[in-house]
Amino acid sequence: MYLNGKKKNLFRKKRTSSYRSGLEENVINNLKQRNVRFKYEQRVINYFKPATKHKYTPDIELENGILIEIKGFFKREDRKKHLLVKEQNPKLDIRFIFGNSRNKIYKGSKTSYADWCLKHGFVFADKVIPTDWITRKDYENTKINRRME
């Protein structure tokens, strides 16, 4: 049966207890019968969920080791991802090719894609990969650095 577009479980019992489960109710009733003093769900403990491992696959890797990401739209999730990748892999040379680096990072923002890249230390260009990125000749150093990581 569906109610307001959501599936409704017709066989679920109506909750008659203030506890989350029957087992909780039984344990608490037992404590009460034994005159044990206790507090029920009063203490809140903060914790962090462990970070999840993610993978990043650059669009292009040039022979000289430069990694290029091609972006028409530069979404918030992508910006966050690239900051994390850069922070955790500082030796990588990641660069962006934008359809238009003057586009704003979101509607109404004063910050353009170019502004964001400059602020966070990323090299960028519009529409084509500049020749000097392709002809850069520190390929050997890049190979050595990659083997060390």
Q: Within a domain: residue 69? A: yes
What pLDDT, on the 0 to 100 scale, is given for residue 121? 96
Per the model's pLDDT, the better-predicted residue between 14 and 30 turns out to be 30
71: containing domain: 60-148
Band of pLDDT at residue 52, cut at 50, 70 and 90: confident
Run of H or E residues at 24? helix 22-33
Q: Within a domain: residue 8? A: no
**SS3 state of residue 27:** helix
Q: Within a domain: residue 13? A: no
Per the model's pLDDT, the better-predicted residue between 8 and 30 turns out to be 30
Band of pLDDT at residue 30, cut at 50, 70 and 90: confident
Domain count, the chain: 1
How far is 66 from 30, CA to CA, in rounded Å?
67
How far is 9 from 22, CA to CA, in rounded Å?
18
CA–CA–CA angle 18, 2, 10 (5° rounding): 45
Q: Within a domain: residue 21? A: no
Question: Mean pLDDT for the chain?
Answer: 81
What pLDDT, on the 0 to 100 scale, is given for residue 94? 95
The 10s digit of each residue's pLDDT in 89-144 is: 999 999 999 999 999 999 999 999 999 999 999 999 999 999 999 988 664 444 33
Q: What is the CATH number of the domain that holds 136?
A: 3.40.91.30
- Region 5-29 average pLDDT: 71
Bridge partners for 123 per DSSP: 95
Q: Within a domain: residue 19? A: no
Q: Within a domain: residue 37? A: no
Q: Within a domain: residue 27? A: no
Q: Within a domain: residue 108? A: yes
